[in-house]
Amino acid sequence: MEISRAGEARSNGESCTTWSALSSARTSSIRSKSPQAILALFGPQMTHREKLELAAIQEVWYFALRNRSRGPNNDGYDDHEHHYIPVQHEHLHYRYEVLKKIGYGGQGQVIRCLDHMRNTLVAVKILVSPLSSKRDKFQRMEIKMALALQGEGSDEDYNVVKVLKYFDFRGHHCIVLELLKESLHDVIKEAGLRQLHMGMVKTYTRGILKFLCHTKARSIIHADYQASEWTQHSARLCSGVVIIGDSDHRENRPRWSQGRCVRSVRLSGRRQGHVTSGDDPV
């Protein structure tokens, strides 16, 4: 499933189809626009659904007239399997610019995006549209477990990927994560017939064990480890867990077991950082 590349929408012969808060950073601090200001600029070209979305938010950091119908479900935003269809340079939640898809699985996909509020590269995990209350419950559980693993020092001490934000967008739960480097699967593939250095193997092993201690303390267990879920930077794990324990973690001893695996999608790409003139965000 490739990212679509929509054609430029034009208004009155002009090719101005996007607005970014980053353009204000050249002369002053980054500033957002109000939904009313975006409506004044792009109102005639916007869909009724986009206008309703704007009415529900307070600030716009990035906007692009690229979100047009291209699929059979969810007003054209989803494919046959109810995955969101990302379009390059479109916006997610009026803040994140879609750059490239870097992971895909049955439960969702991971998109490398530019955060126009903070001028940083991030990974946005877009979960498949929950068509039932049961699936919605499991997806909300994944978000809850990802947040439960967060905490001061959790990224450095226990190798947990940072959850920066989460939101709902066009019927999909979305999780914003820090963008890390290539996965262990990529490292092994690149090594080919050559054996990995023992020092690197020990680094990953220590990272995995630290993470397991961290999850055990919170009555959480990851039941489907894969090499693609571990990143080269400090062997951090992408959020994707099976919960064993009560939903609010009131007891250290599990009260019930949930057999559903909320699988993570691999993260690749470089470490999160600011985009400079000499750094191609794509």
> Known catalytic residues?
224
CB 186 within 8 A of CB 192: no
Among residues 263, 268, 277, the alpha carbon closest in space to that of 111 is found at: 268
Is 167 within 8 Å of 59 (Cβ atoms)?
A: no
Give me the amino acid identity at 192. Answer: G
Give the DSSP H or E segment for 110. strand 108-115
Q: Is 44 helix (H, G, I), strand (E, B) or coil?
A: helix
User: Any bridge partners for residue 63, and if so which?
Assistant: 19
- Please state, in angstroms and rounded to a whole number, the distance separating the CA atoms of residues 231 and 126: 19
| Inter-residue contact 247 to 142 (CB < 8 Å) | no
Compute, in degrees rounded to 10, the torsion defined by CA atoms 60, 128, 5, 71: -110
Maximum Cα interatomic distance, the chain, rounded to a whole number of Å: 65
First to last CA, the chain: 18
Locate 102 and state its tokens.
């870097």
